[in-house]
Amino acid sequence: MSRQWFPHAIREGQHSRQAHCDLPEETYEREMGREGFFGPASHIHHKHPPTGWIDWKGPLRPYAFDLTQLDSLSESPFAQQALLSNNDVTLKFWRCASAMTHLVRNSDGDDLLFIHNGNGSLYCDYGQIDFRDGDYLVIPRGTAWRIEPAEPVDCLIIEDRDGAYQLPDRGMLGPHAVFDPAVLEHPHINDAFLAQHSEDEWEVHIKRHDEVSIVTFPFNPLDAVGWHGNNTVLRLNWRDIRPVMSHRYHLPPSAHTTFVGGSFVVCTFCPRPIETDPGALKVPFYHNNDDYDEVLFYHRGNFFSRDNIEAGMITYHPCGFAHGPHPKALAKSQTDPAKETDEVAVMIDTRRALSIQGIAQSVEKPDYVNSWRSQGA
């Protein structure tokens, strides 16, 4: 049976003519939306900040985790425990300081590696490719691979367990908006790859149902001499992303979608000019995104809507409460707005609720929930 959302728009009391612009004086706008900024939404104008709580009890709350405090060094990404997970996606943080001496193959899902620090080379079934900080590496399910760091590598791993990574539909922006697919790089059967062919014994560690099996070969299985097709490892750096901008309207996070997973999206927040229209919001708007959980990994820069957040941290806002800018960030945006942002962050919005795993709890910043208190009630 076909269906559609209720086709109406209602206005009550004091309200703005448009979302996120020219708010009634001394009010705070909160968006109540559905389907991750793509469904119906209402914009409620409050006398007090929607995050102006003075106390919080219970497990549902905003979380912050300092991943720089994790003991995440290992030769294999499979050795790392999950930080946050559900049946669709698993998030891990991995530090690799030396060349891997075995191959890994994930048969549970596609892996998306975001290189937080370091650089090096990745060798896989399709050849060799160099990488650096700020790179995304899309590794399709079933690909055998290893890395050789030139300097220690820290990376966020986003495992898509219920689909394959794809690009979002750019709609009327056209297929070259945000980034031109021409900037996507792939591995090559080059001299470096051919030089690692060998008749030495190699192990392939295969993960399936989160259990690892080890298969030993009397040669290096990365022995391809060529290939053709369109299923391969791909590399994209945030520096090649050209965010969509509007000087008169603060765009929702969905405008910054980089990859679409099975039941989640990955967005990249890059440096951009800040809105200049006097009536436009200049920081993220307060919102209840009650169909999605929101995770943000902070990579570089000054995170303009957050206080006391450093590079290498993750925040997690499960659905069920309003969230938005911190008090100082909101006040500055109203009295002395910056001309541009310099932050780089990765956002993962998941359709189904995430579970916090024990390894994340060990590096939680428990006072994060109180960081909005100075707004008052």
pLDDT of residue 374: 59
277, 247 in Cβ contact below 8 A?
A: yes
Decide if 21 is inside a domain.
Answer: no
Q: What are phi and psi of 32, to 5 degrees?
A: -105, 100
Q: Are 222 and 309 part of one and the same domain?
A: no
- Cα 5 to chain center, whole Å? 29
Decide if 15 is inside a domain.
Answer: no
CA distance 21 to 159: 37
Q: Are 50 and 128 part of one and the same domain?
A: no
Q: Are 89 and 142 part of one and the same domain?
A: yes
Concatenate the DSSP letters of all residues of 133-155 into one string.
TTEEEEE-TT-EEEEEEEEEEEE
Reply yes or no on whether the pLDDT at 109 is more than 70: yes
For the segment 282-300, the average pLDDT, to the nearest whole number, is 89
Concatenate the DSSP letters of all residues of 82-102 into one string.
PSEE-SSEEEEEEEE-S--SS
- Give 377's pLDDT tier (boundaries 50, 70, 90): very low
CA distance 368 to 64: 6
pLDDT, one tens digit per residue, over 218-256 is 999 999 999 999 999 999 999 999 999 889 988 888 889
Instruction: In the chain, count H helices and then E strands.
Output: 3, 20
Reply yes or no on whether the pLDDT at 284 is more than 90: no
pLDDT higher for 20 or 81? 81
Which domain-ending residue is among 238, 262, 293? 238
pLDDT, one tens digit per residue, over 184-215 is 999 999 999 999 999 999 999 999 999 999 99
Q: Would you state the structure tokens that stand for residue 122, as one six-digit string?
A: 């990745």
- Cα 254 to chain center, whole Å? 12
Domain extent at residue 366: 28-64+242-375
Which three-class secondary structure state does DSSP give residue 112? strand
HSE, side-chain direction, 13 A CA sphere, residue 334: 15
Q: Are 222 and 306 part of one and the same domain?
A: no
Q: Would you state the structure tokens that stand for residue 134, as one six-digit string?
A: 């700020």
pLDDT, one tens digit per residue, over 123-161 is 999 999 999 999 999 999 999 999 999 999 999 999 999
Q: Are 39 and 132 part of one and the same domain?
A: no
- Give 2's pLDDT tier (boundaries 50, 70, 90): confident
Which domain-ending residue is among 238, 270, 295? 238
SS3 content of the chain, % helix, strand, coil (to 5): 10, 35, 50
Decide if 34 is inside a domain.
Answer: yes
pLDDT, one tens digit per residue, over 336-345 is 778 888 899 9
pLDDT of residue 281: 83
Amino acid at 63: Y
Decide if 222 is inside a domain.
Answer: yes
CA dihedral 298, 303, 308, 312 (to 10 degrees): 20
Contacting residues for 253 by C-beta, under 8 A, at least 6 apart: 37, 267, 269, 284, 347, 349
